[in-house]
Homo-oligomer: A and B are copies of this chain.
Amino acid sequence: MTTLHLVRQSAFATNDFAQCLSVLAHQDAIVFMDDGCYNLKHSLLNSLIERIDNSLALYVIANHAKARAIETLVTINKVSMTEVVELTFNYNKVITWQ
């Protein structure tokens, strides 16, 4: 049982991303989209990258980050919306953090 987490809010503004992290399981994946892209620069991401193993995956919607002038780390996979649709079915369920 795996979960795809769609993170749409900035952790600099709200507590939602922190709540996401508290239920994150080993084989889950996170997609940063909308203002969730700002989390690429948040210190919570460091703790996440420390927790990362081969099974946890991080994605960001490429044009959502680019529109916001956010440089993306190499360890984060840039995806299109079509790939987000694919990911939806690669995981057992989806939680949207908005």
Contacts and interface: CB of A to CB of B under 8 A. Distances in A.
A43 interface: no
Interface residues of A, number: 4
Chain copies in the assembly?
Answer: 2
Interface stretch (A7-15, A67-75, A84-92): A7-15
Interface in A16-57: none
A70 to B, nearest CB: 19
A13 B12 CA distance: 11
Nearest to A15: B13
Contacts of A14: 13-15
Contacts of A15: 12-14
A44 B14 CA distance: 16
